[in-house]
Chains A and B, each alone.
Chain A
């Protein structure tokens, strides 16, 4: 086992960068400490990169500092150019991206981590001595082959899966699930084939084995995500986040690098926990999300055909009057609000109400956006202070004392059918108790469309409900105008 012997300071530096990454995540426990956390992350990354660069030039035996030759400097120039290219692309993207497009961006970034893992794995296969995984016999260390094989497989799945998630989130591909016949059989077969190939790789290091692992893993990543509907994308993005971590960890095992192993474990757990939170918020099991197909049968709903029931329509003036008279208002924004770009004018409405002495709070459902925490970012962008924004369990008890529940661009997350109707596809999903509020205002484009899950909502037809039928942004603008009079 000829592992590259690194000087002690380098090993400590990698450990320190692992610890800095832990601090980066720790900082996110509150918005106040988060910015410092992000800087810890940057320092950790800088440290890891600098350490690696310094230890790549030959270090004479017994010495602890590298002695680069001219060839090393040429290589260093190439590497710095590669980093600079990535920096320009990365920084430009980060500056330009719209906050509503954050899920796509994250999916795209995951795909890059996946592809980088594949490339690193293949590079290690082609040049094992550089990675210190060559046995004296001239073969690659079998332990490293397992790690390499798994790293490449997970990386390739992350890559192609994230590409599909990106295309679905970005609207280049329909959010509807694409269901192949016998897909479970095909998927399980492919996964089994990959595992067998990884096993085979430990005894046979020919190129075709590693090529087949790579190719099949690309295919399975595609097959796994294609049948998953748009509504489940928050889970998928979190899951791919987790995979990108496991891929980094597998490569860390190959390189015996503590920074990579710690980071891989952190990111892997983070993605797994976020997937779990999202599944719970939708009352869906992880297995059923992975199996896919949700959203394919939209509209079959609760079984009974939608009869015409009486409902009340309100105007912006009515809404403004009631809001001004209220003491407590809870605003429940959904993704429809973000699509209509109504968050800025909504905050303006909130400010006007606060000036009238009304208490205004925002209630966020975990699946309100297209990825975990997405709605919080959108509200923060519109300058809504984060201490006016509450999570489901923190605000649930306040609806009984609430004068106006203002639902904008949300539907399923306020549907009482989730609590009462066992036949409903959203049954069991935690929802806001808006029906306890004295008045419910529901902004909706028309009475036709019914949410992501395709279920009718009893709240529309309740006595205390006022339907405000219009484009969300237009309606809130009109309310703001009335409030200003």
Chain B
């Protein structure tokens, strides 16, 4: 993919983000932050690429260890972020009638 295609995706996604986030009800802004935090850990994709790279040379080996550390950090976020969001969302209850 060339730079312009990627930039186009990015710009379009910014607009999608703008409209989607304004439609989020203010009552759910804390779960919104928790879940955006979880999904921004999609950076784990980069960490996996680094961690999975073969390397005998010192630089490649160091890169792979950095990747593994980043995988752990991002996983804390992914599991913690989704779990805490689920925990919060489970608490929101509607008025029970009757």
Interface residues of A (CB under 8 A from B): 3, 14, 17-18, 21-22, 24-26, 28-32, 34-35, 37-38, 41-42, 44-45, 48-49, 52-53, 56-57, 71-72, 75-76, 78-79, 82-87, 89-91, 93-95, 97, 99, 102, 105-106, 109-110, 112-113, 115-117, 119-120, 122-124, 126-127, 129-131, 143, 237-238, 241, 244-245, 247-249, 251-271, 273-274, 277, 364, 366, 369, 371-374, 376-377, 380-381, 383, 385-389, 391
Contacts and interface: CB of A to CB of B under 8 A. Distances in A.
Given A116-B73, A270-B36, A274-B29, A56 B52 contact: yes
Contact of B91 (A52, A75, A380): A380
Interface in B60-77: 60, 62-64, 66-77
A35 to B, nearest CB: 5
Categorize the interface residue count of chain B: 35 or more
A257 B46 CA distance: 9
Interface of B: 1, 3, 6, 9-11, 13-14, 16-18, 20-55, 59-60, 62-64, 66-96
A380 B9 CA distance: 37
A129 B77 CA distance: 27
A383 B33 contact: no
B75 A90 contact: yes
B6 A245 contact: no
Q: Which of B25, B33, B72 has the most CB of A within 10 A?
A: B33
Contacts of B43: 113, 116-117, 120, 247-248, 251, 260
8 contacts: A75-B64, A90-B80, A95-B83, A102-B84, A120-B66, A127-B64, A273-B21, A381-B91
Contacts of A86: 71-79
A119 B35 contact: no
Contact of B83 (A52, A91, A261): A91
B80 A373 contact: no
Contacts of B96: 385
Nearest to A76: B52
8 smallest A-B Cβ distances: which pairs?
A86-B75, A373-B29, A90-B80, A269-B17, A90-B79, A127-B63, A130-B53, A265-B13
A91 B77 contact: no
B21 A270 contact: yes
A261 B28 contact: no
A76 B54 CA distance: 11
B50 A244 contact: no
Given A25-B20, A34-B31, A366 B26 contact: yes
A241 B33 contact: yes
Contacts of B68: 78-79, 82
Contacts of A93: 76, 80, 84
Contacts of A264: 10, 13, 40
B92 A386 contact: yes
